């Protein structure tokens, strides 16, 4: 008797929509959705989002290198649409380096780099360590064995470091963090949230007023920090205007706050879910630099960004029309098995780890050296001061910001010294 095969021919899986991220269960673990998109249709026209969704490593780097970052409509567009109250947000965004192409982008980035130098980052290491120690002193002084990582550590640490970097009073860090979070919600999301518009406008007004006051005050009396350094920056006789300084202080701050906060939350959660990796890092602190890179790859704080097609072109066999929107999903590129061996495994000693968590090309993260420094010192301080860190039974919820992946809270049981 011949045996009949019971294996059904492999069914072609249907391509899912990237908009499924709006489902909290998908948001909690978006990687199966990314895998579906990458394997069934890596350059996918999403009719719900009216945008191309690009999920493979090579295509994502192509989009980041070649496509246009000038994606904010000009202020007049909102006046024509009958929503003139949005125009000040657009006016601010068009001055941010993040939303510029050549020749404006290299000009702004060159001037900004003259101020945000490696030396300015290097001097922050002691301050980062001090802040980390101080935050953990407060946790341990409570003596109840509980810690909520986000509120106790991951939110305040980058916010306090940023006030130092900028040269503004550290007491302002809570206000700046609150306004940044609201503004970042708009940057990171693609869903339309009209009921949140009022809050975003208010946050933007507060940010503009705050930095305009600082620039005016620091023009009179310079302080050691980035605001004064932006005022003084000069390249071949070219300097920033006040409006440009305000916009680029805001993008530097917003770019650095949510993402670094989420590096701590997402990274610590990944370690706690993989006790072997955690034990390895505790036993081999010399792995810390490579561990931070792997945590950035594995649970990227910035999951996607958007671009526009610069002209009619072909990508991955698809015809993309000029100015059509493209979502480059870095969170998926970082799990692409064609680029990373065993991509769903957390390998803290991974070599050849050229992830795209900081993007790629002209807009490669301007603050990456600071993010890496904060990551290294922050995780080192957490593991050294807290010999026991355990997850509780409380369910975890992910923030609704789809682009900037992060937890609303990470409750822990800890013991420490």
Q: Which residues contact 1 (CB under 8 A, 6 or more apart)?
A: none
Classified as helix, coil or strand, 328 is: strand
Which tokens belong to 182? Answer: 């609201």
Is residue 156 involved in binding ligand HEM (CB under 6 A)?
no
DSSP structural state of residue 388: E
| Residues from 360 through 379 that contact ligand HEM (CB under 6 A) | 363, 365-367, 370-371
CA distance 310 to 318: 15
Pattern 313-332, ligand HEM, x by CB under 6 A: --------------------
Nearer to ligand HEM, 16 or 331 (CB): 331
CA distance 134 to 132: 5
Nearer to ligand HEM, 107 or 219 (CB): 107
**Residue 73: Cβ within 10 Å count:** 15
| Residues from 106 through 125 that contact ligand HEM (CB under 6 A) | 109
Q: Which residues contact 127 (CB under 8 A, 6 or more apart)?
A: 161, 164
Do residues 290 and 349 touch, judged by C-beta distance below 8 A?
yes
Is residue 252 involved in binding ligand HEM (CB under 6 A)?
yes
Using CA atoms of 381, 225, 204, 327 in order, give the dihedral in degrees to the nearest 10.
-60
Do residues 223 and 167 touch, judged by C-beta distance below 8 A?
yes
Classified as helix, coil or strand, 224 is: coil
| Total interface residues for ligand HEM by CB under 6 A | 22
Q: Which stretch binds ligand HEM (CB under 6 A): 169-177, 229-237, 258-266, 395-403?
A: 258-266
Nearer to ligand HEM, 49 or 140 (CB): 49
Is residue 167 involved in binding ligand HEM (CB under 6 A)?
no
Q: How far is the CB of 80 from ligand HEM (least distance, A)?
A: 26
- CB burial of residue 36 (10 Å; 0-12, 13-18, 19+): middle
Minimal CB distance residue for ligand HEM? 367
Is residue 218 involved in binding ligand HEM (CB under 6 A)?
no
Nearer to ligand HEM, 16 or 255 (CB): 255
Q: Which stretch binds ligand HEM (CB under 6 A): 85-93, 298-306, 346-354, 384-392?
A: 298-306
Is residue 228 involved in binding ligand HEM (CB under 6 A)?
no
Nearer to ligand HEM, 54 or 359 (CB): 359
Q: Which of 301, 331, 343, 378 binds ligand HEM (CB under 6 A)?
A: 301
Q: How far is the CB of 240 from ligand HEM (least distance, A)?
A: 14
CA distance 250 to 253: 5
Q: How far is the CB of 128 from ligand HEM (least distance, A)?
A: 11
Q: Which of 30, 156, 256, 378 binds ligand HEM (CB under 6 A)?
A: 256
- CA 26 to the chain's CA centroid: 19
Q: Which residues contact 300 (CB under 8 A, 6 or more apart)?
A: 266, 330, 331, 334, 355, 356, 357, 405
Binding residues for ligand HEM (CB under 6 A): 97-98, 109, 251-252, 255-256, 259-260, 263, 301-302, 305, 357-359, 363, 365-367, 370-371
């Amino acid at each position: 008797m011949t045996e009949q095969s019971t294996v059904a021919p492999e069914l072609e899986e249907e391509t899912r929509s990237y908009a499924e991220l709006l489902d909290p269960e998908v948001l909690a673990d978006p990687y199966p959705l990314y895998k579906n998109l990458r394997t069934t249709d890596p350059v996918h026209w999403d009719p719900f989002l009216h945008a191309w969704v690009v999920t493979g490593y090579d295509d994502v780097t192509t989009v980041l290198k070649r496509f246009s970052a000038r994606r904010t409509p000009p202020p007049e567009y909102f006046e024509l649409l009958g929503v003139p109250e949005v125009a000040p947000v657009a006016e601010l965004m068009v001055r941010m380096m993040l939303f510029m192409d050549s020749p404006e982008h290299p000009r702004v980035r060159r001037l900004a780099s003259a101020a945000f130098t490696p030396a300015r980052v290097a001097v922050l290491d002691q301050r980062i360590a001090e802040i980390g120690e101080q935050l953990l002193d407060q946790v341990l002084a409570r003596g109840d064995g509980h810690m909520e990582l986000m509120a106790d550590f991951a939110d305040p640490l980058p916010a306090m470091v940023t006030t130092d970097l900028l040269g503004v009073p550290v007491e302002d860090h809570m206000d700046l963090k609150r306004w940044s979070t609201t503004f970042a919600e708009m940057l990171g999301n693609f869903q339309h949230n009209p009921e949140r518009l009022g809050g975003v406008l208010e946050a933007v007004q507060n940010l503009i007023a705050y930095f305009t006051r600082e620039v005016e005050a620091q023009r009179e009396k310079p302080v050691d920090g980035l605001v004064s350094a932006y005022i003084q920056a000069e390249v071949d006789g070219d300097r920033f205007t006040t409006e440009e300084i305000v916009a680029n202080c805001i993008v530097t701050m917003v770019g650095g706050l949510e993402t670094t906060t989420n590096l701590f939350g997402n990274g610590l959660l990944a370690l706690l879910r993989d006790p072997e990796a955690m034990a390895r890092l505790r036993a081999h602190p010399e792995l810390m630099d490579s561990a931070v890179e792997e945590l950035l790859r594995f649970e990227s704080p910035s999951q996607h960004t958007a671009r526009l097609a610069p002209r009619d072109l072909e990508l991955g066999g698809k015809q993309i029309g000029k100015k059509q929107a493209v979502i480059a999903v870095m969170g998926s590129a970082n799990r692409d098995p064609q680029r990373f061996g065993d991509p769903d495994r957390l390998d803290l000693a991974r070599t050849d780890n050229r992830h795209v968590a900081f993007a790629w090309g002209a807009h490669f993260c301007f603050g990456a050296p600071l993010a890496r420094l904060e990551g290294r010192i922050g995780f080192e301080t957490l593991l050294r001061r807290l010999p026991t860190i355990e997850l509780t039974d409380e369910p975890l919820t992910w923030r609704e910001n789809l682009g900037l992946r992060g937890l609303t809270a990470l409750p822990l049981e800890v013991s420490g010294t």
